[in-house]
Amino acid sequence: MSDIEKIRELEASKQALVTELHDATIAEINDGLELLEELGFNYTLATDQKKSAKKRKPSQKTCPVCKFATTPPHDRRHHRTQDEPAPFSQEELAAKSFTRVSDPQSTTHQPTASVSKPSDSQSK
């Protein structure tokens, strides 16, 4: 096998590995993004395409009809089934398996377990 053949072979296996790792990483990131979305944070994974002139509108989280966001997000199109667009009720949300997202600011309260440290108070 000539050197150039070895190099080509290595390049090919490298490419396969890169693709594999890329896909696995994307899957992990998507999982993370879903988790973040559930927490009320809207991130998107984007490649650094400097040439792409496409301007994507940030996906609207808060429905203009309901005035609140849901998980998964919905928008006014989801209100087409209604005679008159009205905010979804709890029952309708449940029927569509949407969960109402409350203000992320107010849900950051985490139940902190009150662990009483044994006389470890720092004196300042």
* Binding of residue 69 to Zn ion (CB under 5 A): no
CA 30 – CA 32 distance, rounded (Å): 5
117: DSSP letter:
-
Q: Which of 8, 38, 51, 65 binds Zn ion (CB under 5 A)?
A: 65
Site for Zn ion in 76-115 (CB under 5 A): none
Strand locations in 1-124 (E): 69-71, 99-101
Q: Which of 12, 57, 59, 66 binds Zn ion (CB under 5 A)?
A: 66
Check whether the bond before 72 is cis (ω within 30° of 0): yes
- Least distance between Zn ion and beta carbon 33 (Å): 22
Q: By C-beta, is 33 or 92 nearer to Zn ion?
A: 92
Give the interface segment with Zn ion, choosing from 4-12, 24-32, 57-65, 103-111 (CB under 5 A): 57-65
CA 97 – CA 91 distance, rounded (Å): 9
For Zn ion, the binding residues (CB under 5 A) are 63, 65-66
